[in-house]
Structure 1
């Protein structure tokens, strides 16, 4: 409703501005009076309203087009790709519209126009100064455009950045917002993702594997652990039915390390499945094989000697 209201208001304003210009031109021809000052302000108003209308129409077209793509579905890789491209493309076009509109309005003022001519006359020095002062801003803008084209990540991708695990929530021209698992927001410049490595768990698909490590005594029966793991996975809705592995990955002086590898449809389900399997496997060992829990052995040897104690 609000979007429709904005479009109607902007359309009415545009019609009023055009009507005012026509009336001014008619009065000028009829009376011969000079309304150039008013005409300049009318042109500026027309530019501003036209830019506003263009931005509103652009957003309406984007919203209507994206209705065909539902990112709430489980298999939403293509939808997230389209959302990412159009969101960044929208921001680029809006940025260009605003820059062009502001430039046209400023050029209508005589004083600013003279300053512009002077800047063009010293374009070499001005270019160097602007290049040095705005290189980070321009770099961030170019990085945002490059992310839209290459798409190293998309909206709602699960990523690990700066040691934090979360989802891509917003992709803007100059910065990216990561929604961390505990609902904090990590805001990073767009150039960060082109300069530093990061993990993308859902680059090609949402499927992900999780690991659980168990540390037990040497006398644990591994086949029984595998049987219990299979039973737990079959009874869980979190498991996608693909990966079910238990391997002995390390043997130390006091314990044996067993690694459980399971899979789920997405990263949140993989996390929940990992903690569920870890808890239930520990309970299984506690109830059925309490002697197989990690223990520290102390061997006391009684060596009889003929010497009297001191």
Structure 2
């Protein structure tokens, strides 16, 4: 009877105690969240309940599994103890990551709720994301190292590895030169405020929004829903356009190549009519001028402003479309023309300049 009750008491008691402690911890966190609803930390910490229960259960079983009296456990005592130790280390790392993530996310949410500058909020969001990834990477490396050191063979290997750590460090640095460069570039982007999550950028001729920043790569979502992933070192070593830097208001241009007879004054009035009733125009500026001439056309530039890049693209397309349609309907002569027939011969009654030679006779047909 005692042999049957002992494993039930050890295993069942460990599981029951784990469930009770997890329930009490969740209850305390829910009450704390109810008393301080403006603090999101307590609700975020509740996500760590499964990790806490695994840690507690593994610790209890690790300390009492020898008392179960089960034959299988006695025959494989070392292997079961090793497995419980590895589980305890992994669950502890999981719990640390949950707690650190909850603390960092809570700080960000409280900051974002009280901040009025959207650009500054995006900057903090970028930094918080990279901090979380650094914490996860560090905790993961430490947990794996702790797991390996639980094996006796790995301890002996570790002693010899420490003796040659300097040589290995040099070799690893040379082998992982690009990876380390991207890692430091990611930290430079996060805390140097070069580019942030949500910024509108132009890289390699592609226009898009920064969607994700990791320690080694950056993802840009283009206007046609494609994702461009590139190493973060690109943004520290090459020039790129950041349309969200220093404010999101933008000025855009629309160019028209027209005939010399184009009614520029009427086009200015028509531009004012187009942008005046358009919701994408922020009413800061609009103008139309002739910027260049060629032997066959003139270049007319219309300038409009908008509150952000999306509205600027919309109003530029609208101005281009409606202005061309208006010219085609009311002033078709203003559109550029290409001569497709030879010019007629000059009549004989038009006097020639003294430096002109007489026309050559036409060959007989």
Give the TM-score of the pair, scaled to structure 2: 0.75
User: How far off its partner does 1:259 sit?
Assistant: 0.8
**Residue segments in structure 2 that go unaligned for 5+ positions in a row:** 1-43, 69-76, 349-358
Alignment of 1:133-148 (within 5 A): 133-148=175-190
Per the alignment, in what secondary structure is the counterpart of residue 187 of structure 1? strand
Matched, 1:166 2:181: no
User: How far off its partner does 1:192 sit?
Assistant: 1.3
Matched, 1:303 2:342: no
User: How far off its partner does 1:38 sit?
Assistant: 5.7
Matched, 1:55 2:110: no
CA distance in 1, matches of 2:50, 2:249: 47
Aligned pair in 2 of structure 1 residues 144, 213: CA closer, same or farther (>3 Å)? Answer: same
Contact 1:7 1:53 survives alignment (8 Å): yes
CA distance in 2, matches of 1:90, 1:153: 18
Give the TM-score of the pair, scaled to structure 1: 0.87
Provide the residue aligned with 1:110 in structure 2. 152
CA distance in 1, matches of 2:141, 2:277: 59
Per the alignment, in what secondary structure is the counterpart of residue 249 of structure 1? strand
Q: Which residue of the other structure, out of 236, 240, 262, is the alignment partner of 1:220?
A: 262
Instruction: Please identify which structure carries the higher helix content.
Output: 2
Bigger relative CO (Cα 8 Å, ≥ 6 apart): 1
Aligned pair in 2 of structure 1 residues 245, 308: CA closer, same or farther (>3 Å)? Answer: closer
Matched, 1:15 2:56: yes
Aligned pair in 2 of structure 1 residues 247, 198: CA closer, same or farther (>3 Å)? Answer: same
CA distance in 2, matches of 1:205, 1:261: 19
Alignment of 1:92-131 (within 5 A): 92-131=134-173
Q: Which residue of the other structure, out of 241, 246, 250, is the alignment partner of 2:283?
A: 241
Alignment of 1:263-302 (within 5 A): 263-296=305-338, 299-302=343-346
Matched, 1:152 2:211: no
Provide the residue aligned with 1:32 in structure 2. none
User: How far off its partner does 1:59 sit?
Assistant: 2.7
Aligned pair in 2 of structure 1 residues 281, 126: CA closer, same or farther (>3 Å)? Answer: same
Per the alignment, in what secondary structure is the counterpart of residue 302 of structure 2? strand
User: How far off its partner does 1:182 sit?
Assistant: 1.0
Provide the residue aligned with 1:182 in structure 2. 224
Contact 1:140 1:174 survives alignment (8 Å): yes
Aligned pair in 2 of structure 1 residues 283, 113: CA closer, same or farther (>3 Å)? Answer: same
User: How far off its partner does 1:223 sit?
Assistant: 1.8
CA distance in 1, matches of 2:321, 2:255: 11
CA distance in 2, matches of 1:142, 1:247: 47
User: How far off its partner does 1:127 sit?
Assistant: 2.3
Which is worse superposed, 249-258 or 77-86?
A: 77-86
User: How far off its partner does 1:65 sit?
Assistant: 3.6
Aligned pair in 2 of structure 1 residues 159, 59: CA closer, same or farther (>3 Å)? Answer: same
Aligned pair in 2 of structure 1 residues 124, 19: CA closer, same or farther (>3 Å)? Answer: closer
Aligned pair in 2 of structure 1 residues 8, 226: CA closer, same or farther (>3 Å)? Answer: same
Aligned pair in 2 of structure 1 residues 306, 276: CA closer, same or farther (>3 Å)? Answer: closer
CA distance in 2, matches of 1:121, 1:70: 48
Cα deviation digits, residues 79-102 of structure 1 (max 9, x gap): 211111111111111111111111
Provide the residue aligned with 2:71 in structure 1. none
Contact 1:66 1:83 survives alignment (8 Å): yes
Aligned pair in 2 of structure 1 residues 56, 253: CA closer, same or farther (>3 Å)? Answer: same
CA distance in 2, matches of 1:226, 1:74: 38
Cα deviation digits, residues 210-254 of structure 1 (max 9, x gap): 110011111222221111111111110011111212121101111
Provide the residue aligned with 2:293 in structure 1. 251
Contact 2:45 2:98 survives alignment (8 Å): no
CA distance in 2, matches of 1:74, 1:214: 40
How many residues are paired up? 301
